[in-house]
Amino acid sequence: MRQIYLDYNTTTPIAPSVQEAMAPYLTEYFGCPSSSHFLGRAAAEAVQDARGQVAQVLGADPDEIVFTSGGSESNNLAIKGLLIQRGPVGHGHIILSAIEHPSVVESVRFLERLGYDVSVAPVTNQGVVQPAAIHDLLQADTVLVSVTHASGEIGTIQPLRQIAEICHERNVYLHADASQSFGKIRVAVNELGIDLLTISGHKCYGPKGVGALFVRRGVTLEPWLHGSGEEAGLRAGSENVAAIVGLGRAMQLAAQSLDESAERLSRLRDRLQLQLQYELGDQLVVHGEQAERLPNTLFVSFPIVAGHEILGRIPELCASTGSAWHGSAASVCPTLAAIGASAEVARGSVRFSLGRPTTEEEVDRAASLILEAWEALS
């Protein structure tokens, strides 16, 4: 049985050239970057080269890049590190959007338990954070606003430039989680006006267990992982050299063919959507259809039947349901709740996310299997 993988927003395979770049640092150049001998210097140079690669792609300077274990750690460091560094613990206000990743939500909830004030910015029924909503929530003691660059579920792209302008007028910092957007659309920190930006390796054809945090020069953070002072004192622990090299190469690779890849994926995404709509018509709910979406993402709700029931009948198809998210079978995807989706609509939801290897043949085969499964269940 040949698998059809349409779950690239969850994770991506490691690109062959990324594996090749990593290989020497798993075998020959195994030294610790903090060591002064040849193998240590070789490892340290590789880390700095990767730092430069990441910075170049984002339009940043190398000293503004901090390597982490992934997107979740980057989000934790950005949010907790900034608030705790900014004065007495428990004093300050944070705004996050209603469609953030759990690592953002739980970081903020942790701070709330310490006494920080928290506000949640709503989204439209298309899953878009309105700049005016951020403006209305700002307080005299607001320190940070955290808004994802693009929803990993609906795929809606947020107006970060406008939000940044509102934040900076009030001397408020803006953090954005770009784990889902990087590699699919252009991400340039200066164009967006971002102060802190999260990147995840395994979302852009790099390895799992590595990520980066852009920290704009002049923004200071309290380290969240203490030890011997690696990563400019912000992230203790010996660097995962091979993974960091892989992240640098993956980000370079993504930037090289971004426009071409986005156009192709958008065409394939629309092809899948149209085939499903041809058979189901208005019964098929396409979430975020009227907003700007990531080119690879299609989040729909099927009528009558549950999304997990459809996928359960198609073992060769890999996709994600939206009725249960991040492991909780009894929960509804927070993004669906935020856009006001009914329980019935949430029950029938499935996210299809395409990637570089996705072919037209796979899309057509997936559409046929999905419709067959729906007809058998309805």
pTM of the model: 0.95
Look at the chain and report how many structural domains it folds into: 2
What is the per-residue pLDDT for 324?
Answer: 46
- Domain identity same for 273 and 249: no
Cα(63)–Cα(279) distance, integer angstroms: 53
* pLDDT tens for each residue of 100-150: 999 999 999 999 999 999 999 999 999 999 999 999 999 999 999 999 999
Share the mean pLDDT of the chain: 94
From 66, 71, 67, select the one nearest 217 (Cα to Cα): 66
Residues in Cβ contact with 72 at an 8 Å cutoff, skipping those fewer than 6 apart: 101, 103, 211
- Domain identity same for 323 and 371: yes
What is the per-residue pLDDT for 327?
Answer: 47
Cα(161)–Cα(156) distance, integer angstroms: 15
Mean pLDDT of the 148-174 span: 97
What is the per-residue pLDDT for 228?
Answer: 87
- Domain identity same for 156 and 295: no
CB-CB neighbours of 345 under 10 Å? 20
Give residue 215's domain range: 16-256
- Domain identity same for 281 and 173: no
* pLDDT tens for each residue of 305-340: 999 999 999 999 999 986 545 544 446 788 999 999
Rg (CA), the chain: 21
Backbone angles phi and psi of 218, in degrees to 5 = 100, -20
What is the per-residue pLDDT for 333?
Answer: 83
- Domain identity same for 54 and 200: yes
What is the per-residue pLDDT for 322?
Answer: 67
From 293, 326, 351, select the one nearest 150 (Cα to Cα): 293
Q: Does residue 183 carry a pLDDT above 90? A: yes
| Alpha carbon distances (Å) from 69 to 105, 175, 237, 331, 359 | 18, 18, 10, 27, 31
Mean pLDDT of the 350-377 span: 96
Asked which of 230, 256, 282 is the last residue of a domain, the reply is 256
Asked which of 208, 234, 256 is the last residue of a domain, the reply is 256
- Domain identity same for 233 and 348: no
- Domain identity same for 80 and 8: no
